[in-house]
Amino acid sequence: MTRKLISSGSEFERKAGYSRAVVEGDFVFVSGTTGYDYGTMTVSPDLVEQAEQCFVNIQNVLAEAGSSMADVVRVTYILPDRDDFESCWPVLEKWLGAIRPAATIFEARLLNDDMKIEVQVTAKIRE
């Protein structure tokens, strides 16, 4: 299988030298994804709403890559304040509760102070 790059069309991807996702073999590597709503071009000030939007965005990219949320094998969460993580648990349970991928959480500043969570996943492509 040939390497496939998936782009959101953002100029930032070109400038920063990355892809929204990369398909390599039967794996999809999705870049860190924030809760930015591309439909409204806004980001909610609410962490839980941002977490939900992260997974909507990830689901869309996985579909474009020929995968799905059910195929996620690894997830990484990055939050500026780790104490906020528990408030996201209902969203995480909704999207990943039945899948239960390997997971890691980091506390780190994000690129924009309006962003309260970033989520990165790796998924398989099922034949």
Cβ atoms < 10 Å from Cβ of 90: 13
More confident residue, 1 or 115: 115
Task: Tell me the CATH number of domain 4-124, given options 3.40.920.10, 3.40.50.1440, 3.40.50.300, 3.30.1330.40.
Answer: 3.30.1330.40
- Helix, strand, or coil here: 36? strand
pLDDT at 15 exceeding the cut of 70 = yes
Sequence ranges of the domains in the chain: 4-124
Q: pLDDT tens digits for 82-111?
A: 999 999 999 999 999 999 999 999 999 999
Q: Provide the pLDDT for residue 9.
A: 79
Rounded CA-CA distance 21/34 in Å is 13
102-107/118-124 β-pairing: unpaired
Indicate yes or no: pTM above 0.85: yes
Q: Provide the pLDDT for residue 2.
A: 81
Q: What is the dihedral of CA 42, 108, 82, 68, to 10 degrees?
A: 60
Rounded CA-CA distance 85/76 in Å is 12
Q: Provide the pLDDT for residue 4.
A: 94
